[in-house]
Amino acid sequence: MTKLVKLAASLVCLGLAACAHTGGMTPVAELKPGTAWVLNSDDWASEAREVFAEATQHVDALESARPDGSWYVVLDLDETVMNNVAYQVELDRTGASYQTETWFDWTQQEAATPVPGSIEFVNHVNRAGGHVVFVTNRLDREQLATESNLAKLGLLRGRDFRVLLTRASPEGTSSKEGRFALVPEMLRVQGYPSTVSLAYVGDAKGDRPADWDADAFFCIDNGAMYGDPCASVPLSGR
Ligand SMILES: [Mg+2]
């Protein structure tokens, strides 16, 4: 059993809504502030729900003027739809930093939990007649486990999302611009000839096109755990 598998087993309580915000079963004093905040604070969950509520309002204001199937929303995955705080807990406890191989091992466990509000938002977009598109910097070699993890969260390709674009390894770029630009063509060949994006949702600055309207980008606060966070006020108090 790998260390990460053991960790995941020990964190079962911490991943459950009933006990996630009670301080957990084990001391968390050694966790970094952002990790502890995401793991234990009600603020993180309520901030995330608030962002998804704002995104829902935005989409609702625009979609009624558009035919079903003619629009889409792009979401990042990690710390936007999939909560990987258990991986960060292991890093904090061992004093390690992010490594491609330990991250790969984590993705293969398919143990990410949902970011609060994300599943409801995806379901809302589908009910409203939009397409859900995921653009992630998870690698292509992690795609199968990622889709399986999403299925465990209740999100199925073709039913709940139509496009999932990973980052190609080893030469693919972390910039998502090229993949964002592909989305309308990918929808066209699936039978939707003319589509526009109504919103982007993510937790990092690169989760929307560089020239995208800031008012139509909805940012989840990831507690400054990863990347180049888009939260204007990392940790509580957006
Ligand atoms: Mg992310």
**Domains of the chain as residue ranges with CATH:** 3-219 (3.40.50.1000)
| pLDDT per position as a tens digit, 49-83 | 999 999 999 999 999 999 999 999 999 999 999 99
**What local confidence, expressed as pLDDT, does residue 30 receive?**
87
DSSP state of 204: B
Q: What percent of the chain has pLDDT over 90?
A: 79
Distance (angstroms) between ligand 1 centre and the Cα of 138 equals: 9
* Cis-peptide into 234, omega within 30 deg: no
Please tell me the distance between residue 234's alpha carbon and the centre of ligand 1 in angstroms: 14
What is the average pLDDT across 216-237? 85
- Residues 162, 167, 170, 174, Cα dihedral to 10°: 160
pLDDT of residue 151: 98
* Per-residue pLDDT at 16 exceeds 90: no
Query: What pLDDT, on the 0 to 100 scale, is given for residue 68?
Result: 97
CA–centroid distance, 219 to ligand 1, in Å, is 10
The rounded mean pLDDT for the chain is 89
Distance 28 CA to ligand 1 centre (A): 23
Residue 18 has pLDDT above 50, yes or no: no
* Residues within 5 Å of ion ligand 1, judged at the Cβ atom: 76, 78-79, 203
Specify the pLDDT at position 238.
60
Q: How far is the CA of 66 from the centre of ligand 1 (A)?
A: 29
